[in-house]
Amino acid sequence: MVSISGSKKLKRQMAPMFWGITRKDKRFVVTVRPGGHKKDHSIPSAVFVRDTLKLATTLREAKSVIYGGKVKVDGITRKSLHHGIGLMDVVELQGVPEIYRLVPKDLTVLKPITINASEKTKKLLKVTKKVTIKGKKTQIGFHDGRNLISDAKVSVGDTCVVQVPETKILDIVKLEKGAQVIVTSGVNAGKMGKIAEMREGTFVLPKRALIDIDERQIEVPSDSIMAVGKDKPVIQIQ
C-alpha cells in the first residue's frame, strides 16, 4: 500500500539550514511529516533533540528520549520522531531544567531560546484565517494548525496570546500602526521593530507593513511578520 503522508526521510543536502545538521554525514535524515506547521518552517523532533539541542549523539538515543515520552510540545507529550516543532512552540524535556521556545533569531527562521518556567503555558499564535461556520459561529485558524471557535474580535494577521495546551485566548495583539513586530522569514528574520504604516494589498502586491528597524525603514509582506506587543513583547521571545 502506498503511503499518503509522504516520505519519512530527506537527503541531508536538501534539509533547511536552521535544522543545524552536519552536511557530510549519512546520506539521509528524518524529516517532518504533515502536521500543524509547514514542512519548511519546522524541525522534526528527532533532529531537534539530536542536532539542534545536541542532547543526543545518535538517532538511537533520540528515539529513546522521544519514544519514552520525555518530550512535551506546548504541554502535550509527542512520541513521533517526525513531529514538526515550529514557530513559538514551547518544548520541555524530562530531566532537562531548561524550557525552550522556538523563535526567529539572528537572521535564522527558527532558533531555541531558554524561557522562564512561568511562561511555558503562554504562546503567541498568529491568526491566518477566519470563517463563519454552522450556527453563525466564528472559527479562527492559527499559524500552527490549531482551530478555535470563539467570539473574540480578531482579524487575520492579528496575534493571540494563548494558554496552552487548552488554547484559551488571554489577550490579543492587533497588527496595526504602532505595534511591535518580529520578522519571521526572509533576510531580516529575527529582527524586531515598530510598524510605521500598514499598506493595503493590490492586484499584484500583497498587504505590506513599513517597519522601523535599527534606524531604518523596511517594507515587509504582512505574512512575514508577527505582532508581539505594543511597546514591548508580551512574552519572552528573545
Would you list the DSSP string of 63-74? HHHHHTT-EEET
Count of Cβ atoms closer than 10 Å to residue 30 Cβ: 21
Secondary structure element (H or E) that encloses residue 170, with its range: strand 168-173
Nearest to 102 by CA among 58, 162, 144: 144
Q: Is 104 found in the same domain as 45?
A: yes
What is the average pLDDT across 43-71? 94
Report yes or no on 201 lying in a domain.
Answer: yes
For residue 1, what pLDDT band results from cuts at 50, 70 and 90?
very low
Q: Is 143 found in the same domain as 104?
A: no
Residue type, position 195, single letter: I
Q: Which grid cell sits at 46?
A: 528527532
The alpha carbon of residue 121 and the mean position of all alpha carbons in its chain are separated, in whole angstroms, by 15
What is the average pLDDT across 138-160? 94
Task: Write down the pLDDT at residue 6.
Answer: 64
Q: Is 157 found in the same domain as 131?
A: yes
- The tally of domains found in the chain comes to 3
Quote the domain boundaries for residue 216.
180-229
How far separated are the first and last CA of the chain, in Å rounded?
Answer: 46
Residues 70-92 as b/e (b if ≥16 CB within 10 A, e otherwise) read bbbbbeeebebbbbbbbbbbbbb
Task: Write down the pLDDT at residue 5.
Answer: 57
**Domain end (from 74, 94, 118):** 118
Report yes or no on 140 lying in a domain.
Answer: yes
Task: Write down the pLDDT at residue 17.
Answer: 82
Q: What is the pTM of this model?
A: 0.91
Rg (alpha carbons) of the chain, rounded to whole number: 18
How deeply is 179 buried, as exposed, middle or buried, from its count of CB atoms within 10 A (0-12, 13-18, 19+)?
Answer: buried
Q: Is 190 left (phi over 0), alpha (psi -120 to 50) or beta?
A: left
Task: Write down the pLDDT at residue 162.
Answer: 96
Mean pLDDT (the chain, rounded): 91
Q: Is 101 found in the same domain as 33?
A: yes
Q: Is 107 found in the same domain as 57?
A: yes
